[in-house]
Structure 1
């Protein structure tokens, strides 16, 4: 089927992965590698992280619940310490790819985010927030989990985007840095690209769209 739309995740796609910041934090504090990811992946539909991304709890409650969950897994880590780690550095080449796609296809963004920081990208400073806002302005549609009340990998959020863009899933490319979020997109018929590195993602996007980046 012909590609009509390219749908993007934000964090870990337009920015460097927060997992890098998680690993630095863990190393600095003598925590096991990938401990924060382990907390986030335990009871992934109902844990503090999932509830925060659906705006079912506020930042103060997230701080408390995340600490409880981390402590049960052996290491007390406050949620308030994790939130500043979420925003990475911007990737100019990926932004250039977005602009190239926008010239030919419909473009949308589905982001799991929380009501903290500055705006949809959860930027840590007003300066970074301005850069995020500029990127977001290029999308025809932006769906934020914290506003929609539904989060990836729930298939409903992908279908919401398809309806908003007036496209069928099989006519879409979807990019995300998490495999768990790519799986439902692929199951719906989208061409799913798991973003592991910038070079890899752009190469796969070029192959899927016929564009050069």
Structure 2
């Protein structure tokens, strides 16, 4: 089927991966490598991360629950120290690729986020000047887990986006930096691209869409 829409994750796609910041924090604190990722992957549907991204707990609740979960794994880490690690540096070539795709296809964004930290609806002046405030308005439709009450990898959130854009899953390309989020997209019939680095991503996006990207710009 002809591509009609390109659907994007946000963090780790348009910005550098928070995993890099997690690794630096762990090294600085003398913590085991990938501890934060282990906390986040333990009980993935009901842990502090999942509850916060569905807006079922507030920042204080996240701080306390993440501390309890990391303590259970033997290394206490307050959740309030993890939140600042989420935001990464913008990848200009990916933003340029989004703008190029927008000229040819519908574009949507599905982001797992936290309403009190990572949503353009909160702390508006600061967010408006940040990456999300600059990039999210480019999309035809945005679904934020903290507002929708559902998060990736729940297939329902991908179908919500398809309905909003008026397209079938088979007509979509989906980009995400997490394989666990790409799998349900692929299962629904989307062409899923796991974002590893910018060059690899643009090459696969070019193959999927037929656009040729020169420094992020479609030629």
Task: Normalising by structure 2, report the TM-score.
Answer: 0.93
Matches within 5 A, 1:168-207: 168-207=168-207
Q: 1:16 to 1:100 in 2, by over 3 A?
A: same
Q: CA deviation at 1:121?
A: 9.8
User: Aligned partners of 1:209 and 1:159: how far apart in 2?
Assistant: 21
Unaligned runs of 5+ in 2: 214-219
The equivalent residue for 1:137 is 137
The equivalent residue for 2:29 is 29
Q: 1:121 to 1:105 in 2, by over 3 A?
A: farther
User: Aligned partners of 2:41 and 2:118: how far apart in 1?
Assistant: 25
Q: CA deviation at 1:194?
A: 0.5
Q: CA deviation at 1:129?
A: 3.8
Task: Normalising by structure 1, report the TM-score.
Answer: 0.96
- Bigger shift: 195-204 or 152-161? 195-204
User: Aligned partners of 1:18 and 1:134: how far apart in 2?
Assistant: 19
- What is the CA deviation profile of residues 107-147 of structure 1, one whole-angstrom value per residue up to 9, with x for unaligned ones? 00000000223634989x92774442221111000000000
Matches within 5 A, 1:74-153: 74-117=74-117, 119-120=119-120, 126=126, 129-153=129-153
Q: CA deviation at 1:192?
A: 0.3
Unaligned runs of 5+ in 1: none
**Count of equivalent residues:** 212
User: Aligned partners of 1:26 and 1:182: how far apart in 2?
Assistant: 27
SS at 1:137 equivalent: helix
Q: 1:14 to 1:47 in 2, by over 3 A?
A: same
Conserved 8 A contact 1:59-1:115? no
User: Aligned partners of 2:80 and 2:110: how far apart in 1?
Assistant: 24
Deviating above 6 A after TM superposition, structure 1's stretches of 4 or more consecutive aligned residues are none
- What is the CA deviation profile of residues 132-186 of structure 1, one whole-angstrom value per residue up to 9, with x for unaligned ones? 2221111000000000000000000000000000000000000000000000000
